[in-house]
Amino acid sequence: MTPPSRIAALEATTDPVADLYAGWDDHMAFAAENPALYRLMFAPRPQPAARAYQRILDLLEATLLRCAAAGALATTPRAAARLILPANIGVCLARIAQPTLFDDPALSHAARDAVFTVVLAAPAAPSGPDPVRGAARQLRSQLALTGTSHLEPVEVDLLDRWLERLDQPAPS
């Protein structure tokens, strides 16, 4: 099973953060079980297997969107995915290329925890010094997941734009 179909087959639970952790570990397991295929899919080259990579990125962003809707994300789902996936791939490729050098079983979780510390926020905690920014991110993500029947489509688009702007860093 390829990583995108394998990730899609992972059961989503009611805890998106736990699902994020499970996704990291499953990605590591796939690389360990299929080192040659993994290298073909993810080894750096001018045109990597873009379709599989993009599908994995999309699935990761979907999980991160659920994390944001739960108030557990300290950044946008897109920014978080662009930190998490390269870190996950890097650890996998290092283990495949230099198994004796990177044989510490705790390495994967140490790398994961370092990246997750940057992207995850404690659920229901104030979102840093700007609680409006965190609330805007959470509401925008929740609306993307569930939508609303209380607004017309043009109003939803306008609200989404306002929430996107509120989630931007304050000008210096």
Query: Which residues, in sequence order, are CB contacts of 7 under 8 Å at separation 6+?
Result: 23, 26, 27, 56, 59, 60
DSSP summary character for residue 100 = T
- The predicted-structure confidence for 50-64, as pLDDT tens digits, reads as follows 777 888 899 999 999
For the chain, the domain total comes to 2
Q: Which residues of the chain have pLDDT under 50?
A: 124-127
Looking at the fold, whether 72 and 118 belong to one and the same domain comes out as yes
Looking at the fold, whether 116 and 134 belong to one and the same domain comes out as no
Domain that holds residue 141: 126-172
Looking at the fold, whether 109 and 156 belong to one and the same domain comes out as no
Query: What pLDDT score does 121 carry?
Result: 87
Looking at the fold, whether 89 and 140 belong to one and the same domain comes out as no
Looking at the fold, whether 92 and 39 belong to one and the same domain comes out as yes
Query: What pLDDT score does 132 carry?
Result: 83
Looking at the fold, whether 113 and 79 belong to one and the same domain comes out as yes
Query: What pLDDT score does 4 carry?
Result: 59
Q: Where residue 74 sits, what CATH number does that domain have?
A: 1.10.357.10
How far CA 161 is from CA of 49, 105, 154, 156, in Å, comes to 33, 44, 11, 9
Looking at the fold, whether 15 and 54 belong to one and the same domain comes out as yes
Looking at the fold, whether 90 and 46 belong to one and the same domain comes out as yes
Looking at the fold, whether 131 and 87 belong to one and the same domain comes out as no
Looking at the fold, whether 69 and 138 belong to one and the same domain comes out as no
Looking at the fold, whether 156 and 78 belong to one and the same domain comes out as no
